[in-house]
Chains A and B, each alone.
Chain A
Amino acid sequence: MAILDSRRVSRAGRWVDVRHRRLGMWAYALNRITGIGLVVYLYLHLCILSLLTRGQSAWDSFVSLARSPFYLALDVILLAGILIHGLNGLRIALTGCGIGAGAQKAIFTMLMIVSAIALAVAALKIFHI
């Protein structure tokens, strides 16, 4: 049973293997990785919000920590995840409705360029607030 389970785990993990694969597979893996990242962030966010129950001083000390360059960099990573997941999701929704299925690679490339530009602008703003 243990062998079977480990096989199932290694099989399920194959979706992250993008070696020798094409652009669609990168889009697939990116969407899953960012999706998992956003779920983890949601729980972290809720945990951090729970600091409010410990009073103003606990919250204020967290806010001063959140303004450090390390936390600002995490904000940029979070935004990258939101942009990639959201815009790639748009591609999936469009192709899933039968719109642009033949041009999915061009759509993905275009949306990722939009993501990169938006992220660069947002990163500049985040670090210059």
Chain B
Amino acid sequence: MPKVPLQIFRYKAGEPSRYDTCTVDIPDSAHVIDAIDAAWAVHDPSLTFRRACHHSSCGSCAIRINGVEKLPCVTKLSDVWDGRTPLRLDPLRNFPVVSDLVVDISSFFQRMSAADMAITCEAEAFLPFTVDSFAVAALERKAVELPEDFSRFNRFEQCIECGICMSACPTMAADDRFLGPAGLAAIYQARHKTDDPKKVEHLLGLADGEHGVWRCHSAFECTEACPQAVDPAGKIMALRRELIARRFSKMWGK
């Protein structure tokens, strides 16, 4: 079993940030999250990090591994460790660091909300009642009535809300109010789910704003980094095309 050296970003509120180094014993076939788990369990239980699903479904463990945004739960150690140099682990960029590898990604969800995106997934119905009421309904053997527009409440494409796209985006570093790849991709998705002219105007108005699609400088880092092939940059370009087409239509009085 190889001894894997780790260099982990550490930060606690009120203290200066630093890097801690430690060595963990884990097999080559392990994932990076296993190395972090081992560092926490063996070396320092005060190390803060997030993880939940262990299979690229929740997006909560997103960090930077050797400077590159990745999900450590599905990143094999053998794919990122050269066998010598310490594996460097940093929190995501462009979000405030809460503690060690944990960042506050509430700005991500604010942007999704601005685009009117319901954060639900296909397998988890967005219902007008709680899990508890579901359980009670099951005990009472009552049929659960689903809303008529049930199919509307789906998560947009494959996004797992990990925040990696916003960390990878260089424009996010320069403009705090930029809607960002996630927000703009959500606007694209919301726009294509509605024919309501008022809603379309609102969504395209958001995209066309000062901190909208025109702030993107086509680095395409979001699409490269996205672990779920959402292609936010492609969505931003599609929004631009629609906005340009609408402007030309207005110029010709259509």
Contacts and interface: CB of A to CB of B under 8 A. Distances in A.
A98 B241 contact: yes
A20 interface: yes
Interface in B225-247: 233-234, 237-238, 240-241, 244
Contacts of B170: 14-15, 25, 28-29
B189 interface: no
Interface in A14-38: 14-15, 19-22, 24-25, 27-29, 31-32
Contacts, number: 65
Given A24-B224, A97-B240, 8 more contacts: A11-B94, A12-B174, A24-B218, A25-B221, A95-B218, A96-B240, A97-B244, A101-B233
Contacts of B234: 101-102
B218 A98 contact: no
A27 B244 contact: no
B93 to A, nearest CB: 7
B71 to A, nearest CB: 16
Nearest to A26: B219
Most interface-central of B173, B219, B234 (chain A CB within 10 A): B219
Closest 9 pairs between A and B when the two form their complex, measured CB to CB:
A98-B241, A20-B67, A24-B220, A28-B219, A14-B173, A101-B237, A15-B170, A24-B219, A92-B218
Contact of B174 (A15, A95, A101, A102): A15
Interface string A1-14: 00000000001101
Interface of A: 11-12, 14-15, 19-22, 24-25, 27-29, 31-32, 91-92, 95-98, 101-102, 104-105
B219 A12 contact: no
Contacts of B238: 98, 101
A98 B237 contact: yes
Contacts of A104: 218, 220
Interface string B94-111: 100000000000000000
Contact of A11 (B173, B217, B219, B220): B173
A95 B241 CA distance: 9
Interface string B203-233: 0000000000000011111001000000001
A55 B218 CA distance: 47
Contacts of B113: none
Most chain B C-beta atoms within 10 Å of own C-beta, residue among A29, A92, A96: A96
A27 B219 contact: yes
A96 B240 CA distance: 6
A7 to B, nearest CB: 11
A98 B240 contact: yes
Given A96-B240, A101-B233, A22 B221 contact: yes
B133 interface: no
5 contacts: A15-B171, A28-B219, A92-B218, A95-B218, A96-B244
Interface string B137-173: 0000000000000000000000000000000001101
B17 interface: no
Contacts of A22: 220-221, 224
A25 B217 CA distance: 10
A21 to B, nearest CB: 6
